[in-house]
A and B are shown apart, each in its own frame.
Chain A
Amino acid sequence: MRRAAQFSFALSLLGVAIVLASLWGSVPLPWSDFWLLVSDPQALPEASRLIISQLRLPRILLAALVGASLALAGCGLQGLLRNPLADPYIVGTSSGASLGATLAIVWNLPNLTPYLSAVPAMAFIGALGAMFLVYRLAKVNNFLPVETFLLAGVIVGSFAGALVSLLLTMAGQDLQRVMLWLMGTLEQPEGPATFWLLLPYLVGGGATLLCCAQPLNLLGLGEENAQALGVNVERLKLWVVAASSLMTAAAVSVAGMIGFLGLVVPHLTRRLVGPDHRWLLPLCALNGATFLIVADMIARVIIAPRELPVGVLTALVGAPFFFFILKCQRSN
């Protein structure tokens, strides 16, 4: 019963966020427009219909996908590493993606297809490369010790970061484009196509993590205890790392570095619903989607007509908020 209530609450929050984000923007729309859209789309003024269906809804859907992916990846990795401070970028995918994106911008690579521009494609390749490198470095005799995994993530991340800085100092005029990408934005020239590109990763990764939910709970008892209870610990690590990295890679390559979400959302959701991954994972996905839709809405309007990169906003709001939560936790 409590679970059902938590689910419906998270779902209604998501619904409210979608309604708000489709009405609010640099051109605010009246509430009545949303009712019309739901009840009688034909009666909607042409301008409103275009704004909602062509501009805002695709962006809302993209925000939902990216938010859900990052939150799920964060939740999976926090469970795997048994560390509530792990985030999806810890595996080095983000730095790999930055390197790929920077290369695409600096080399001015042409688009592969009309639906897929070079920057996300290269970012995805970079992210996958980093992921495999981290995995190779961290593996010791067919085992994946958590400590070497974290260390390898840091090493690959710093190295890729250094390469990005080197490229930036050499190519001056592209600096702004790279910086904008690094800060993270959901403004997508390709629109709905990006959504369809990203969807399989969320569905596949999310389903994989859900299958790992009960073993992840057992892993909380310690690796040895989980193994003794019948969990194939090394295989579990492989699945969780692969699913989380792929989801992060896909999200980062289209939306850039949206920081803090993958850390804060699983952390807060865990405090609300408890440690059971069977409930925690789906709720993280819902809350991550809501979080990014709201953050993106604010980023669109706060300095209108210009736009704040949503990654800047999530970090600006997220960091003090997180600090506040931790502070409250302490004093209790």
Chain B
Amino acid sequence: MAPGLLHLEGVGYSYGERRPPVLEDLTLLVESGEWLSILGANGAGKSTLLRLMAGLLSPQRGRVLLEGEDLAQLTPRQRAQRLAFVPQDVRLSLPFTCQEIVAMGRYAHSKFWGGQSEGDRLAIERAMQDTSTLHLAQRPISQLSGGEAQRVRIAQALAQETKLLLLDEPTSHLDICFQLELMELLRRLQRERGMTIIIILHDLNLAAHYSQRLAFLTGSRLAAVGTPAQTLTPAFLREIFKVDLRVEEGEGGEKRVSLF
């Protein structure tokens, strides 16, 4: 296996000194080029974990290492040159055009006052090509549908030209067609560009189908990390989500989870 890209060492985090910790003593190694999905019940600390991995929050205990370097020691610009983070879907009502929004992804690379180099222009065009958003270039972001807007936000993250992409529930608010389209886009990026994908998902079947590994959070700790085949068992899922789920094996041994 390729060497580790992101390494969490005994990470603990709490919002405020007197509040109970959201995450405790969490150790995890993310391999380069893998797709890791983070799952867990609401309030289990998934978003906090993703923000720690993205360097947007700094752990109070432990360290997060990106290719051996402590994320907390990097400046915001250095960090944004090496990893991209797509926040949860927030409707943008800005009158900026899609191209301008994607171009903002180049902030960490660009010179003073946002001047664009040839490399910037190429990165923007390629990001928009990859996400099939070129035809939206001149449209204001506020006029797009949910699926289109989400593609533009991913284009913005791709324009950062990083090896690591973190996404916080990118499929929520999207209909099933857009969900699949988005998942296929991410798989293409992983396979063709060798990108590492870390993603929070709610849909167990989407996670099982696309991920190499699943990480389950419960009660501020990492309950299990493993392949879908290892982790998706009725007993384990009951422990995590407190409901009885049926797990069937589909073609090629792929796991299918259903409620009824």
- The answer to whether A and B interact is yes
Q: Measuring CB to CB, which residues of chain A are less than 8 angstroms from any residue of chain B?
A: 141, 210-211, 213-215, 217-218, 220-222, 224-225, 227-232, 274-276, 278
B side interface size, CB within 8 A? 29
A278 and B113 contact, CB distance less than 8 A: yes
Choose one: B80, B87, B95, B160; the contact of A275 (CB below 8 Å): B95
Q: A220, A228, A232, A274: which contacts B87 (Cβ < 8 A)?
A: A228
Determine if B90 and A222 form an interchain contact, defined as CB atoms under 8 angstroms apart.
yes
B54 touches A228 (CB 8 A): yes
Most chain-B Cβ atoms within 10 A of its Cβ — which of A220, A221, A274?
A221
Q: B124: shortest Cβ distance to chain A, in Å?
A: 13
B 124-164 binary contact with A (CB < 8 Å = 1; else 0): 00000000000000000000000000000000100010000
The distance in angstroms between the C-alpha atoms of A215 and B100, with both chains bound, is: 13
Cα A228 to Cα B75 with chains together (Å): 11
Q: Does B94 contact A (CB under 8 A)?
A: yes
Can you offer 26 A-B residue contacts whose CB atoms are under 8 A?
A: A141-B16, A210-B113, A213-B114, A214-B110, A214-B113, A214-B114, A217-B96, A218-B104, A220-B92, A221-B104, A222-B87, A222-B90, A224-B87, A225-B87, A228-B56, A228-B85, A228-B87, A229-B80, A229-B156, A230-B76, A230-B77, A230-B79, A230-B80, A231-B107, A232-B75, A278-B114
Determine the residue in chain B with the shortest Cβ distance to A229: B107
| B104 surroundings in chain A (CB, below 8 A) | 217-218, 221, 229
Q: Which residues of A contact B108 (CB under 8 A)?
A: 229-230
Cross-chain contact B96 with A220 (CB below 8 angstroms): yes
Q: Across the interface, which residues of A come within 8 angstroms of B87, CB to CB? A: 222, 224-225, 228
Interface contact B76-A227, CB-CB below 8 Å: yes
Q: Does the CB pair B107–A274 fall under 8 Å?
A: no
Counting CB contacts under 8 A, is B218 at the interface?
A: no
> With an 8 A cutoff between CB atoms, is B105 at the interface?
yes
Measured CA separation A221–B110 after assembly (Å): 18
Most buried by B among A211, A222, A225, A229: A229
Which residues, 80 to 114 on B, are CB-close (under 8 Å) to A? 80-81, 84-85, 87, 90, 92, 94-96, 100-101, 104-105, 107-108, 110, 112-114
Contacts of B56 in A (CB 8 A): 224, 227-228
Most chain B C-beta atoms within 10 Å of own C-beta, residue among A210, A228, A275 = A228
Contact of B96 with A213 in the complex, beta carbons under 8 Å: no
**Cα distance A230–B221 in the bound complex, in angstroms:** 29
User: Is there contact, CB below 8 Å, between B107 and A218?
Assistant: yes
Report A-chain residues with C-beta under 8 Å of the C-beta of B114. 213-214, 217, 278
**Nearest A residue to B141, CB-CB:** A221
Contacts of A278 in B (CB 8 A): 113-114
Task: Name A224's closest neighbour in chain B (CB-CB).
Answer: B87
Known: A224-B87, A228-B80, A228-B85. A213 touches B113 (CB 8 A): yes
The 10 closest A-B CB pairs, nearest first, are A230-B80, A230-B108, A228-B85, A214-B114, A230-B77, A232-B76, A230-B76, A229-B107, A220-B94, A224-B87
> Looking across the interface, which residue of chain A has its beta carbon closest to that of B110?
A214
A140 nearest in chain B by CB position: B16
Choose from B16, B84, B90, B96 the contact partner of A228 (Cβ within 8 Å). B84
CB A80 to nearest CB in B, in angstroms, measures 15
Q: Give min CB distance, A330 to chain B, whole Å.
A: 16
Min CB–CB distance B81 → chain A (angstroms): 7
Chain B residues with Cβ below 8 Å from A227 are 56, 76
How many angstroms between the C-alpha atoms of A328 and B107 in the bound complex? 36
Give B100's nearest chain A residue, CB to CB. A276
Q: Which residue of B lies closest to A218 (CB)?
A: B104
Given contacts A221-B101, A228-B56, A229-B80, 8 further A-B contacts (CB under 8 A): A213-B113, A214-B107, A217-B114, A221-B104, A228-B87, A229-B108, A229-B156, A276-B96
Chain A hits for B95, CB < 8 A: 274-275
A278→B96 CA distance, assembly (Å): 13
Contact between A275 and B94, CB atoms less than 8 A apart: yes
Inter-chain CA distance A227–B107, complex, in Å, is 11
**B81 contacts A230, C-beta separation under 8 Å:** yes
Cα separation A261 to B160 with both chains bound (whole Å): 39
How far, in whole Å, are A148 and B92 apart by their CA atoms in the complex? 23
Which residues of the other chain, B, contact A211 by a CB distance below 8 angstroms?
Answer: 112-113
Contacts of B105 in A (CB 8 A): 229
Cα–Cα, bound, A275→B104 (Å): 13
Cα–Cα distance between A210 and B114 once the two chains are bound (Å): 12
A229 to B77, CA, bound (A): 7
Can you list, as one digit per residue, whether each of B180-217 has a CB less than 8 Å from chain A (1) or not (0)?
A: 00000000000000000000000000000000000000
Give complex CA distance A231, B108 in Å. Answer: 8
Docked complex Cα distance between A229 and B110 (Å) = 11
Q: What chain A residues lie within 8 Å of B77 (beta carbons)?
A: 230
Q: How far is the CA of A230 from the CA of B110 in the complex (A)?
A: 11
Assess A231 versus B76: contact at CB under 8 Å? Given A213-B113, A218-B107, A224-B56.
yes
Beta-carbon nearest neighbor of B96 in chain A: A275
Name the CB-closest residue of B to A231.
B76
Rounded to whole Å, the gap between the CB of B152 and the closest CB of chain A is 11
Chain A hits for B101, CB < 8 A: 221
Q: How far is the CA of A221 from the CA of B104 in the complex (A)?
A: 10
